[in-house]
Structure 1
Amino acid sequence: MKVFIHQKDNWPEFTWRSNDFMNLLSEARNLQGRLLGKMGTLGFELRNEALLDTLTLDVIKSSEIEGEILNPDQVRSSIARRLGIEIAGAVESDRNVEGVVEMMLDATQKCFDPLTIDRLFDWHAALFPTGRSGMYKITVADWRKDITGPMQVVSGAMGKEKVHFQAPDSDFVEKEMTQFIDWFNKSKIDLVIKAAIAHLWFVTIHPFEDGNGRITRALTDMLLAQSDKSNQRFYSMSAQIRLERKGYYDILEKTQKGDLDITAWIIWFLNCLINALKSTDSVLIRVLFKANFWQKYIDIAINDRQRKLLNKMINGFDGKLTSSKWAKIAKCSKDSAVRDINDLIDKGILQKEAAGGRSTNYELIGMPAGSRVGKGEFHP
């Protein structure tokens, strides 16, 4: 019984009904143009700040979808170094952070370069610099071998597993990928629709033993950058997919168990893209707030610990800031943290949160609620 889409006789001759999503495509294209125009009015430094924010969010959320939590400071520092952007408080980054940043920047900053097998293998090697995924040794920079059995997406307890998807047999991967890469480089269809198809096609082939999701999203970003005619990224599909993760897996499973008419998948993808484009308002609000914030307090004495924590709060610290957390992140004593905080309260920069609780929490005065670009606390 041919259960999965890649087992259909005409695979991968996808079909779709353009009339069903033409309005969505027009809306997405309009939002892309408006966003690029809006970002074009910013000065060089603010545009770099927005770019750095977006790329940092994209890398963090793409890894988070796979259950891997990256240190935001390391991600931000790694991206800044590679783009030649100077930031305060830059830190050294772990190899796994450097690898995923290297892949995402290669995909977006060199979006107009052709896709090749070697390029994909380089990305895969960057994701797994030790040759292992967690504790397990995996095949790196080569197609999967299926030594332990077919590549499956499974849920449920042992003995009661549910197979959501089974990828093509490893014997067919090289041929599948040769066809995919040729299409990726030569197809002339609308680039937004092409991004939707490439995402589905690549993740269905599942050519690697691990890392397929992150590479899929890198390819998606690559084609969306081409569609923007710009390697500067100001919106994150990965962040939006993370927010809509349940819907993403539902439509993906339904499509992979369906026929070759992928209209429903394209409609979902376009809606996700539209939501991603609309969410960039929070990035712009935060970037403008940060620029105005430091200009406002340019003549106020602020020590290095205070500057570090204030930047963290502006950049997206979304937990409850207490004196204990301040001390831990600033690597200082609790007494020093309290003095830092009280000094900023006296200067009208911080205030106690109105909501009470077991601990006293602090917030920036005037911080717009819509400026937070991520959820969850920064990890010191």
Structure 2
Amino acid sequence: MSNIPFIPPKLPPKVDYTNLIKEIGWAHNNLGKLNGLLINIPNPGLLTTPLLTKEAVLSSRIEGTQATLEDVFKYEAEEKISEKEEIEKDVREIINYREAMSMAIDELKNRPIGENLIKKIHFYLLDSVRGVNKDRGNLRRMQVYIGAPGTPIEEATYIPPPITELPPLLSNWESYINSEQEKDPLIQMGIAHYQFEAIHPFMDGNGRIGRLLVPLFLYQRKLLSYPLLYISEFFEKNRKDYYDLLNRVSKEENWEDWIRFFLTALTDQSLKTQVTVIEIIALYNNLKKKIAAINSVYAINLLDLIFANPIVSFVSIKKRLKSRSYQTIYNLLTKFIKIGILKEVSGRKRNRIYIFQQLMDILK
């Protein structure tokens, strides 16, 4: 195999849309339905933490992490999740992903997607985790290659562009992703996603940033009123096809099959997210009525808290709830258990852990 770096042609490529009309229509139709749901939700923030945490878990899993959704929520409840240090490192990476996404949403109010934003995302992603020594927040400064651990460059599956090519390639990518000239924005994002992965601008974290940019782009283009469409679930389930099709663009300029796959991912995840959103909102509204009988101004605060963090401890509740009274928190926990919202799962007399199983079931 050649050890010559691949330099992707500058954007835009020539793509024949003729055979993609059906997939374009499906993707737009289902994105529109999802956005219709999001527009009518009084508090879309209610959905953000659980759905974004799930996306962070799946996107990180594509890169080899083993931590589960339950591990993340347990960690945030200050529960020791494993004797294995590696799992806690995985969890920290997942939390960084979520925090990077939240930061980027705020940043888009003042700046478009571009080199400065991806550097800042990279800085957040590599905070205090494996890869922190890989030039956090900066473009790579050396040639890298992708392949099985320990293999020489001659056996690499992909060799990204040399560092001298990064500035012009990223400048072109930034111009393209913000251009209003492309015929269809969903195809535009599919092309931009490939190009970002091909450029491979960082030493580490390129895949996660590339996937994170998809909902940010849809949000920036106002195709979604809130960036709550995450496609890592589809990519993780179809991981081999995901990487094979990206490689075929590099080797054969086969844009059509890659874009069809990308549009299918958008359609599939739009449908799944619609179902999830409907189920979460229905659950919230049902429980909101149920807790009306609890005589506490803090009941709604605890309900909101467990929708963001469905695994909690007394300590984590006390940190997040506005009430500082131990008795108030104890009484609320007792009532939430009695009416079937929370369940104690540790079996301990002290440092107990409580799970909001109904929400966890929806997220799984």
Normalising to structure 2: TM-score of the pair? 0.70
CA–CA distance in 2 between the matches of 1:58 and 1:368? Answer: 15
1:103-118, aligned counterparts within 5 Å? 103-111=100-108, 113-118=111-116
Q: Which residue of 2 aligns with 1:56?
A: 53
Aligned equivalents of 1:144, 1:151: Cα separation in 2? 9
| Equivalent position amino acid for 1:54 in 2 | L
Q: Return the alpha-carbon distance in structure 1 between the equivalents of residues 278 and 176 of structure 2.
A: 36
C-alpha distance 242-301 of structure 1, shift in aligned 2 (>3 A): farther
Q: Does 1:293 pair with 2:287?
A: yes
Match of 1:197 among 170, 191, 195: 191
Q: For 2:75 and 2:34, locate their aligned partners in 1 and report how far apart those are by CA, in whole Å.
A: 24
For residue 134 of structure 2, what is the aligned residue in structure 1? 138
Residue of 235, 240, 260 corresponding to 1:241: 235
SS at match of 1:153: coil
Q: How is 1:53-202 mapped onto 2 (pairs within 5 angstroms)? A: 53-68=50-65, 69=67, 72-73=72-73, 99-111=96-108, 113-130=111-128, 133-134=130-131, 137-146=133-142, 150-155=143-148, 158=151, 162-189=155-182, 190-202=184-196
Alignment partners' CA distance in 2, 1:187 and 1:347: 53
Q: CA deviation at 1:275?
A: 0.7
| Deviations, residues 217-254 of structure 1 (Å, cap 9, x unaligned) | 22222212134444512321233323332321222223
Q: Provide the secondary structure at the position in 2 that maps to 1:274.
A: helix
Residue equivalent to 2:251: 257
**What secondary structure is seen at the aligned counterpart in 2 of 1:256?**
helix
Provide the TM-score with structure 1 as the length reference.
0.68
Shift of 1:210: 0.8
1: CA distance between counterparts of 2:308 and 2:74? 17
Partner of 2:16: 17
Q: Distance in 1 between matches of 2:15 and 2:4?
A: 18
CA distance in 1, matches of 2:30, 2:216: 18
Q: In structure 2, give the amino acid aligned to 1:276.
A: Q
In structure 2, how many angstroms separate the alpha carbons of the residues matched to 1:184 and 1:349?
Answer: 44
Q: Work out the CA distance in 1 between the residues paired with 2:61 and 2:305.
A: 23
Contiguous gaps of at least 5 residues in structure 1? 78-93, 318-324, 331-339, 352-361, 375-380
What does residue range 307-322 of structure 1 map to in structure 2 within 5 Å? none
Contact 2:11–2:176 (CA<8 Å) still a contact in 1? no
Return closer, same or farther for 1:191/1:158 CA change in 2, 3 Å cut-off: closer
- Give the Cα–Cα distance (whole angstroms) in 1 for the partners of residues 314 and 105 of structure 2: 37
**Is the 2:177–2:189 Cα contact (8 Å) retained in structure 1?**
no
State which of 226, 230, 244 in structure 1 corresponds to 2:220.
226
**What residue in structure 2 maps to residue 270 of structure 1?**
263
RMSD: 4.4
Give how far 1:41 is off. Answer: 3.1
Equivalent residues, number: 321
Q: Which runs of 4+ in 1 moved over 4 A?
A: 1-8, 10-13, 74-77, 94-99, 156-162, 307-317, 325-330, 346-351, 362-365
Identity %: 22
- Give unpaired runs (5+ residues) of structure 2: 78-90, 318-332, 344-353
Q: Which has the higher contact order (CA 8 A, sep 6+)?
A: 2
SS of alignment partner, residue 178 of structure 2:
helix
Report the CA distance shift for 1:232/1:50 in structure 2 as closer, same or farther (over 3 A).
same
- Is 1:36 matched up with 2:30? no
Asked whether the 8 Å contact 2:76–2:316 carries over to 1, the reply is no
Q: Cα distance, 1:277 vs. partner?
A: 0.3
